[in-house]
Chains A and B, each alone.
Chain A
Amino acid sequence: MTRITRRTLLAASALPLGGGLLASRRARAEEAYILGTLFPMAGPNAEYGTIFTAGAAMAIKHVSADKMLSRPLALRAEDSEGTPQGGAVGMNKLVNVDHALYVLVGFTGVSKAAAPIGTRAKVVLVNGGGVGPDLAGLSPYYWNVIPLVPDEIKVLTPFLIARKLRRVALIYVNDPFGNGLYKALKTDLTAAGGEIVAADAISPTDQQFSAIAARIRTTAPDAVYFASYGAQQAQIIKQLRDAGISQPLLTYSGAAIPSVRNLPEAEGLTLTAQAADWTVDDPVTRRFVADWRAQYGSDPTPYHQNYYNAVRLFALLAQQLEKAGKPVNGDTLRAALLATRRFALVGGEGVFDDLGDISMKIVVNTLKGGKLVAVG
């Protein structure tokens, strides 16, 4: 009896998954512009995948509503698992099966594994989430719509000196992003007359931080900077606070996710991020913010903004190419980007440099009641 039930259950669950829809999907794929996403959709960093996708989805809705392009936009998601291997396999599939023209990507490790594949196939990769310093100029077809972390440190350092937070303890993930951040923070802070009194490298899978807290406390810093991703950030904050670390906590834009913002212990957290001034009075920003609030009942985050911008950037470039009667592919998109440079994006005008990297205003924020409040 139990065997029958089990088999029936399985068959029942398999049927709707396996059946149909493939044909209609193919038909649609021929006429649509295919955008790919290569985000972590499962595992400890899956929260980012959810956020990144939401931003892109809103942009697709707007582009379609405005009839900006002659062909519809379609999104194909691949799970990067947040790992290089997942990134390489997923990118291969996006390029060769889905024939994506333009792939949205996050994460430093994933980017580094996927970029060579994109370069070979001349498919543009756009990053709106990873901020590792070595993501700048990874390939001609790899652009950043997010300012990278050295830009954030440049804004933070004067703020720290002004607040007399000269002695900083650092907790950082031991990977290209964390190491790059460590270097940038050390250089800038030392030059400005501050110092790093302790630097603890952690692994992205660590979950216990009370021991680090004890060690940091013995160095009596003025503030504690942590550089991590995803779920781990909230754990660090909570455990540092629980262990009696009452000094200001500092971090970068990666903490602008709900699991951090909704954490009671994160109240007062200082973090640098793109200026998220939702009161900016340009039509693109106004519409994005209004629709976002209507749909989700809360304010968007810079990540939502970046991936919205990434899709909007594609639409603007493709629109330009369509008008000029040119084909839309990696080479023409790149040429159009470098020819135009300035685009009307959410948050104001976005300006790209020769490497295809955006620069945006960065501000220092404090977390108050789950919201980012600019303080400098």
Chain B
Amino acid sequence: MLLLQLLVSGIETGALYALTAAGFALIFGATRIFHFAHGATYALAGYAFVLASRLGLAWPLGGLLALAVAVGFGLFLEAAVYRPIQRHHGAFFTVFVAAFGVVIVVQSLIELSFGRAFVAISTPLTRAHEILPGLYIAQVFWVALAIAIVIFALLGSFLARARAGIGLRALSENPDLLRAFGLSARRLSALAFALGSALAVPGAVLGAATTGLSPGVGAHVMLISLAASVVGGIGSLRGAALAGLLLGVVETLVVAFLDTQWSEAAGFVVLFVFILFRPSGLFGAAVAR
């Protein structure tokens, strides 16, 4: 029963990881920008939701505020930080350092405005109930699962059918195709950032209710997203999502056998094994070599 219970928590965690990781993978796949500040987007969205609930706004309004903050922040970074660096042919690591600076700035701003303490939204949704002897499930589990499924279904059909969606997929591989479609690479890059940042919102909002938020909350989510996008195969949304789920489950299940301190490391063992033995990831088409 312990394993089943852990599997359930793992799936809940993993579903939210999957969304955030897919956001990172979408941005990276389309623009080749290593958006290390994706975790900061997550933190900002979560705090926006907390702010809204403190102001007494209903949760849909809070969700919209979180969405607006996340998308706005993503677009701002794309325009004000990444694009200028890439204009100068800045190397991959230049982007990385700049993004890291942004992470520090966001964390300090949150500390200055919300304080450094842990904040959480209290809701009966996160209260677990015994549904089978020894198996406790909270409603938030079903919510997380439903949100993940719906969003992935919408995202999948958008990328497969809509013109802009197809353009997004083509952006990194075949810029010529874009011109043929009459799409601008610049606008598509903005679209990738908007969509990718939006994908961090569900995880952040539900995270505010389940694990709670602290100013440095984005770091772990960011690392998981990175790991997931490699395990899944760089550029593959489906892979990143599946790997996010996998990492969430592994991280939780490992507690049944080892000290909890290994749970974060366990995800990275999976990552390391993949890199050594299957560097193309779950769904990767092109191997890096």
A and B in contact, CB less than 8 Å: yes
Given contacts A2-B80, A242-B126, A244-B129, is CB(A231)–CB(B6) below 8 Å? Answer: no
Q: How far is the CA of A47 from the CA of B214 in the complex (A)?
A: 11
Contact B252–A211 (Cβ < 8 Å): yes
CB < 8 Å neighbour of A243 from B118, B136, B215, B220: B136
Q: Give CA–CA (A273, B289) in the complex, Å.
A: 59
Question: Is A208 interfacial (CB-CB < 8 Å)?
Answer: yes
Q: Interface size bucket, A side?
A: 35 or more
The contact string, 1 if C-beta is below 8 Å from chain B, for chain A 26-49, is: 000000000000000011111100
Whether the Cβ atoms of A210 and B261 lie closer than 8 Å is: no
CB distance from B205 to the nearest CB of A (A): 16
The closest CB in chain A to the CB of B136 belongs to: A244
Complex: A232 Cα to B120 Cα, angstroms: 12
Are A263 and B255 interface neighbours, CB within 8 A?
no
Complexed CA–CA distance, A40 and B286 (Å): 46
Q: Which of A160-195 contact B (CB under 8 A)?
A: 174
Instruction: Say yes or no: is A139 at the interface (Cβ < 8 Å to chain B).
Output: no
CB of A231 within 8 A of CB of B260, answer: no
Chain A residues closer than 8 Å to B260, beta-carbon distance? 200-203, 206, 211-212
Q: How far is the CB of A251 from chain B (nearest CB, A)?
A: 15
Q: Which residues of chain B are near A238, meaning CB under 8 Å?
A: 120, 211-212
Q: How far is the CA of A257 from the CA of B120 in the complex (A)?
A: 15
Mark out the residues of chain B between 88 and 126 whose CB falls within 8 Å of any chain A CB in the assembled complex: 108, 111, 115-120, 122, 126
Question: Do the beta carbons of A203 and B261 come within 8 Å of each other?
Answer: yes
Q: Is A234 part of the contact surface with B, judged by Cβ < 8 Å? A: yes
A239 contacts B6, CB within 8 Å? no
In whole angstroms, what is the CA distance A210 to B255 when docked? Answer: 10
Which of chain B's residues have a CB closer than 8 A to the CB of A208?
A: 13, 211, 251-252, 263
CB <8 Å contact, B116 and A234: no
Q: Cα distance A201–B255 when bound, in Å?
A: 11
User: In the complex, which residues 198-245 of chain A have their Cβ closer than 8 Å to any Cβ of chain B?
Assistant: 200-203, 205-208, 210-212, 214-215, 217-218, 230-232, 234-235, 238-239, 241-244
Contact flags A241-256 to B (C-beta < 8 A → 1, else 0): 1111000000000000
CB nearest to B13 among chain A residues: A208
Which residues does chain A contribute within 8 Å of B117, judged by CB atoms?
A: 47, 231, 234, 257-259
Distance in angstroms between the alpha carbons of A55 and B255 in the assembled complex: 40
Min C-beta distance of A196 to chain B, whole Å: 15
In the complex, A69→B63 CA distance in Å?
A: 56
> Is B146 close to A, CB under 8 A?
no
Which residue from chain A places its CB closest to the CB of B80 in the assembled complex?
A: A2
Residue pair A211, B136 in contact (C-beta under 8 Å): no
Interface residues of B in 200-216 (CB under 8 A from A): 210-212, 214-216
Residues of B within 8 A of A239 (CB): 210-211
Q: How far is the CB of B13 from chain A (nearest CB, A)?
A: 6
Interface residues of A (CB under 8 A from B): 2, 6, 42-47, 50, 174, 200-203, 205-208, 210-212, 214-215, 217-218, 230-232, 234-235, 238-239, 241-244, 257-259, 263-265
**16 interchain pairs (CB within 8 A)?**
A44-B216, A46-B116, A50-B116, A174-B261, A210-B12, A212-B260, A215-B256, A230-B118, A234-B118, A234-B120, A238-B212, A239-B211, A241-B127, A242-B127, A244-B130, A259-B118
